[in-house]
Structure 1
Amino acid sequence: MSIKSTLLDGMVIFVQVIKSGSFTLAADWTGHSTSYISKEVNRLEARLGVRLMHRTTRTLSLTPEGQLYYQLCQQIIEDAEQAENAIIGKQGEPQGLLRVSCPVSYGLSSLSPILSVFTEKYPKIQLEVELNDRKIDLIADGFDIVIRATTQLEDSTLISRRISQSEALVLASPDYLAKNGEPAHPYELARHKIISYSNLKQPNIWQFEDQAGEQIQVHLESQVITNNTSLAIDLAVAGQGVFRTPKFALKQELESGELVELFPSFPKPTIGVYLVYPSRKHMSAKVRSFIDFVIDQLGDSQCKL
């Protein structure tokens, strides 16, 4: 396959314009004239066939296509710098912008306590962490690494590495159970107030397995549906219904008795926590350093083998 000789033309100039926030500052940084910078960006847009940015005399803003292209170009430029430094013997500390997406509950309970150690260890990495429970498209959304908590990862070309696993528990407060009774079997949940997590594919269908290994599917009417686990836990503690959540999302609610586990004799679904990142032959130092660090700090015994 032949490589287009113009493939990288304008890329560094475009990225510097966005980082600088203006054509004039980008010209000062690169040593070119403002008109040269403008022409390079125009040529780039013409070659790609899309408008990358909206520009007025005072402001610059990226189009959706420009945002995606900018994020991907940043990684390409950083990889090129890493390659050049490796060849000329100047490979130093991992550096550059590292964008990580993580579920809110896992980020607050597990990731947050170790991030200060990471930033202290790797001061040249600019860490951007987004806590969000929606499903992230790693490539389209421009992330280097996504942390996912799920019972089963979807097939993809991305690489995944399990950090740990957690049990999914069904919980309610003692006050709620005193007023509404404690269900002895998952089917009895149909008569209870349910708090559901909206980011699941089927929030109102809960899967169980009984002691004999038979699959149970319970269709529920949710009184509250939310995309935030912390809110759901707070509502459950306040006696507003029954909720299901990974154990890692809890703080001290079980130990303190604020919440009670239901169906303790039933097998508990296992939720795996995974690092997901692009399938690249040559992984950048910043991505490798984050993966190794998280596995070392949070990985269970199998992950650390």
Structure 2
Amino acid sequence: MIPEMTGRPRFGRDDVSVFLAVCDAGSFAAAAPRLALTASAVAKAIGRLEARLNVRLFHRTTRRLALTAEAAVYREACRAARNRIDIVEAELALLASEPAGTVRVSLPPLLGAQILAPALYALCDRWSHLRFDISTSTALSDLVGEGIDIAVRVGDLTDLPGVTARRLGIQRVVLCGSRDYFAGRGLPRDVDDLSEHDLIAAVRHGRAAAWQFLTRDGDRQTFDPEPRLLLDGSMLTLAAIRAGRGLGLVPHWLVRDQLAIGELVSVLDDLVADHLPVHAIWITSPVMLPRLRVTIDAIVRASRAAIAERLLV
């Protein structure tokens, strides 16, 4: 039922709203105050609706209005539609007032799983209507095409029209090998010494990704490793390093504990230059829904905590 309206009508002064108000009030004159209209304006609205539908909606007498059979069917359809509009408007109001709905997030696999995702899980405990759809990728995402609300990526960003980027920190990398490996091979003292070692490289575009170093003069130089092992991902690389298979580049935060206890040994620390920025990216919009705002804030807080713990810099 449409409630009594003494001022501005609930659904506006469209002809369907006028029709429903007349159905509830029983006459044009009784409906008019509820709609803040004159009785004549109410009658004209009903006339327009009848002309559009090409059916008569009311049997009019000098004493009362009675719905036609067609009007009774139309009234129920209109009420169902208005009720659905009520539900949707309430849901939209909730989305605009507090974090609710689903946020689709794309994270880098390791950094996402170990540092960022736990902060998003915690949001679910705080906001009962908030949900996450989290995937992992290292590719620079087409946010619109893939339906992603926010992505976190490690590496330099290209120009991304219509996308906002926020820098979260820098992921340091280290070149390291196992203690047992170095016991038999010795430590490299310079980049040139790497040719005497078994190298483990990441695959990129079907070939070994180049390594970046600084010269002793501070210039940047590119080194193309000739790997014994070409592996996809830091976890495979770390497993091979721990098994004594050679030297490889991995994120510092991933091996910090093993370095601290001497299980792994890093080399050329002052020359390694493969450190990469970490960014959060999302589609630029003049209005940010609360669910996206709290997600970005949680990712930023998790990144700051990682910086404080020296996992990122």
TM-score by length of 1: 0.64
What aligned pairs does 1:204-219 form with structure 2 within 5 A after superposition?
A: 204-219=209-224
Structure 1 pair 144–82 and aligned structure 2 pair: CA distance change class (3 A):
farther
Deviations 1:52-71 (A, max 9, x none): xxxxxxxxxxxxxxxxxxxx
Give yes or no for contact 1:196–1:243 (8 Å, CA) kept in 2: yes
The equivalent of 2:149 in structure 1 is 144
For residue 209 of structure 1, report the CA deviation from its aligned partner. Answer: 0.9
Separation in 2, partners of 1:159, 1:199: 26
CA distance in 2, matches of 1:259, 1:183: 14
For residues 114-165 of structure 1, the C-alpha deviation after alignment (integer angstroms, 9 at most, x for no partner) is: 2332211222121011123344332222211111111x21111221101122
The one of 109, 126, 135 aligned to 1:130:
135
Deviations 1:13-49 (A, max 9, x none): xxxxxxxxxxxxxxxxxx99xxxxxxxxxxxxxxxxx
Q: Which has the larger radius of gyration?
A: 2
The whole-number CA distance in structure 2 between the counterparts of 1:280 and 1:187 is: 50
Tell me, yes or no, if the aligned pair for 1:193 and 1:222 is still in contact at 8 Å.
yes
* Cα RMSD, aligned residues only: 2.8
* Cα distance change, pair 81–203 in 1 and its aligned pair in 2 (3 A): farther
Q: Go from structure 1 to structure 2 and tell me whether the alpha carbon gap of 1:104 and 1:84 turns closer, same or farther (over 3 Å shift).
A: closer
Pick one of 164, 171, 176 that aligns with 2:169.
Answer: 164
Q: Within 2, Cα distance between the matches of 1:190 and 1:289?
A: 49
Query: 2:166 aligns to what SS in structure 1?
Result: strand
Unaligned runs of 5+ in 2: 1-75, 78-87, 309-313
In 1, Cα distance between equivalents of 2:147 and 2:101: 14
String of CA shifts for 1:97-126, please: whole Å, max 9, x gaps.
111111111022212432332211222121
Higher helix proportion (structure 1 or 2) = 2
| Whole-Å separation in 2 of the counterparts to 1:246 and 1:285 | 33
Alignment counterpart, residue 260 of structure 2, candidates 255, 260, 274: 255
Q: Could you tell me how far 1:238 is from its partner in structure 2?
A: 0.9
- Residues 214, 244 of structure 1: alpha-carbon distance in 2 compared, 3 angstrom cutoff: same
**1:101 aligned residue:** 106
Question: How many residues are aligned here?
Answer: 220
Aligned counterpart for 1:85 among listed residues 68, 93, 96:
93
Identity of aligned residues (%): 23
2:160 is paired with a residue whose SS is coil
Partner of 2:232 in structure 1? 227
Q: Is 1:169–1:268's contact at 8 Å kept on the other side of the alignment?
A: no
What SS does structure 1 have at the residue aligned with 2:165?
strand
What is the one-letter code of the residue matched to 2:276?
I
Aligned to 1:109, the other structure's residue is in SS state helix
Whether the aligned pair in 2 keeps the contact of 1:169 and 1:246 (CA below 8 Å) is yes
Partner of 1:154: 158
Aligned counterparts of 1:160 and 1:279: Cα–Cα separation in 2? 9
CA distance in 2, matches of 1:290, 1:270: 26
Flag the 1:82–1:164 CA change in 2: closer, same or farther, 3 A: farther
Matches of 1:85 and 1:179 in 2, distance apart?
Answer: 67
**Matching of residues 254-293 of structure 1 within 5 Å:** 254-266=259-271, 268-293=273-298
Q: What is the rounded CA distance, in whole Å, between the counterparts of 2:142 and 2:264 in structure 1? A: 34
> Which residues of structure 1 form unaligned runs of 5+?
1-30, 33-79
Contact 2:96 2:290 in 1 (8 A): no
- Contact 1:204–1:222 at 8 Å: present in 2 too? no
Q: Which residue of 2 aligns with 1:74?
A: none
For the 8 Å contact 1:125–1:286, the answer to whether it is kept is yes
- 1:243 offset after TM fit, Å? 0.9
CA contact (8 A) 1:133 1:228 kept: no
